[in-house]
A and B are shown apart, each in its own frame.
Chain A
Amino acid sequence: MSDRSQLIETGKPFKFDAERDAEFERLVKRYPTRESMILPALWLTQEQEGWVSAEAIAYIADRIGTYAAKVFEAATFYTMYHLKPMGQYHICVCRTLSCWLREKQNIIDFLAEEIGVRPGEISDDGRFSLEEVECLGHCGTAPVVQVNGEFHEEMNVEKMKTLLAGLE
């Protein structure tokens, strides 16, 4: 979201936990080059921490045996990698053609009013972040929303209200 050129330091060292470590070792055997692990390692990092820090980039580069610049390049190119912490609930609303035709804007407007967050923003209490994303491949059940990766189809303001009420 927004500025994707800067990495943030946490001031703490990063490493994979035991589960991610094992998954890294399983996956690395599947590729003839270690650099193919850049995207999978970024995913493992994001699964573990929710985002990708400067320390994580350095760790991945070291773990793979490549330049940190190559990991940084991939992390900034692929927009699903978060380079800063997101809200506890990261809401993605599809903005592309079919969702646009079926009035996704109503959902965006509702969220701005209800939780005070516009696309690209994180709520002050850190509970919500909102992102407008490109086509999510659910055009037949548009408009579609993802909350922390989970799909919600045929959305409207009423269903969005219910969805928000159901979050902890």
Chain B
Amino acid sequence: MEVKILSAKFDIENSHKLEVAKEHGAYATLEKLFAMEPADVIEEVKKSGLRGRGGAGFPAGVKWSFLPKDTGKPVYLAVNSDESEPATFKDRYILVRDPHMLIEGIIICCYAIGCHDTYIYIRGEYTSQVRILQQAIDEAYEAGYLGDTVAGRDFKLEVTVHRGAGAYVCGEETALLESIEGKKGQPRSKPPFPAVVGLYDCPTIINNVQSIASLPFIIDQGAEAYTAYGTEKSAGTHLFGISGHVEKPGMYELPLGLPVLDVLDKVAGGVWKGRKLKGVIPGGSSTPVLTAEEAKTATLDYESMAEHGTMFGSGGIVVLDDTVDIVALVKNLIDFYHHESCGQCTPCREGLGWMLKITKKILAGGGSSEDIDLLLELCDNIEMKTVCVLSAACTMPVRSYLNKFRHEFEAYVEKGASLQAAGIQG
């Protein structure tokens, strides 16, 4: 089931070094790229159907075409390497095992959108990763792939790495821009969208690492080679991160569209310890959970996940075995989002705190049935009433657990203990 498009060089020793990467084809697309018109590059990326791989899934080529023309201002590219959505750990592999694929992708994107200054925003926790990435950038400068000219062409391109410092919200694109500007990471109101008013008030494109790293293949092999993988509306391949209760957790590159359960069994070795499946979180902790029953019909693509009332998200799949205490899991999730709220909007800053308190009360055996309803009501009163979607990233999954596993919350209310501890069969 696995394919090697983005991960083609991942298993080669020292693939992060320019010399090795070049032996395996790095920067080979540049000749073809510079023979194309920028508009044709955008067209090719549109045709490839490449969708933003950060989680939102917005078509990359379409995003680029929102840039206003001839504003007299510089255009910026910000590469989102914040990768902080729980259960997401794919971009890290690109940074460490094939950073030159990312740099080549940056060159392609910048040529297409007329950008000469790129910032790679990398989360502060990625310590060894940032070192390897910076070494690769330094090597690319020395070899003439970055700087005043790119591969001998009259095209200037500067790439600067900007380190975050432990704020999940900076994965939100406008918080990311604020953070590069030296401010605390509080998202901006939109519109205006960053393509019009972005970094330093200039037109800015923000793309995820994996999206950018997909470009060399698309330009080299053509859009059709890319759409040969995946489904009609979910083209290409994706680096999936599978974690939680499976025998073989890890990062796997797969074409989009495969059945969830096939992937769990055949790629990830099945549910660990011979246990049964309780649920699957399809694409990072903010995506609503699928029950084991729902997972039977779901496939790993944008349209199937939407049909199942959830989202494809970031490709971070979490497997839950039948021993998981859903109420405790929900507490863990709310704790995360409450801690990471930037504090700007009251419904998020205060509301997630209330949700945490109520969930803790239920866990301690002091909750009532009304508390479960109150949690649902809070979800409705918080969601989409804030500047960014951080609060929704909490309420959407929490609502799904409340609706699909309500009996587990009721066990705490009635028996003062988890379903498992109370000996009730789920």
Contact = CB atoms under 8 A, between A and B. Distances in A.
A3 to B, nearest CB: 15
B145 interface: no
Given A35-B181, A73-B184, A78-B166, A97 B124 contact: no
B324 A135 contact: no
Interface in B284-320: 285, 316, 318, 320
Contact of A79 (B126, B167, B181, B243): B167
B126 A137 contact: yes
A139 B241 contact: yes
B128 interface: yes
B356 to A, nearest CB: 14
Nearest to A76: B184
Contact of B123 (A27, A137, A140): A137
Contact of B318 (A31, A80, A98, A149): A98
B88 A139 contact: yes
Given A36-B181, A146-B125, A138 B165 contact: no
A133 interface: yes
Contact of B183 (A74, A81, A135): A74
Interface centre among B165, B200, B285, B335 (most CB of A within 10 A): B165
A98 B182 CA distance: 31
A150 B340 CA distance: 23
Contacts of A89: none
Interface residues of A, number: 43
Interface string A65-104: 0100010011001111100000000000001111011100
Nearest to B241: A140
Nearest to B202: A32
Contacts of A10: none
A140 B244 CA distance: 8
A115 interface: no
Contacts of A146: 125, 127
Contact of B244 (A36, A38, A95, A101): A101
A142 B163 contact: no
Interface centre among A35, A101, A139 (most CB of B within 10 A): A139
B200 A96 contact: no
Interface stretch (A12-20, A39-47, A106-114, A158-166): A39-47
Nearest to B319: A101
Contacts of A81: 165-166
A141 B250 CA distance: 7
Nearest to A151: B128
Contact of A97 (B158, B285, B339, B342): B285
Interface of A: 27, 30-33, 35-40, 42-43, 66, 70, 73-74, 77-81, 95-98, 100-102, 133-142, 146, 149-151
29 contacts: A36-B181, A39-B162, A39-B164, A39-B179, A70-B182, A74-B182, A78-B167, A80-B125, A95-B335, A96-B285, A97-B318, A98-B87, A98-B318, A100-B329, A101-B243, A101-B245, A102-B243, A134-B340, A135-B85, A135-B87, A135-B336, A138-B89, A139-B316, A139-B318, A140-B89, A140-B251, A142-B243, A150-B127, A151-B127
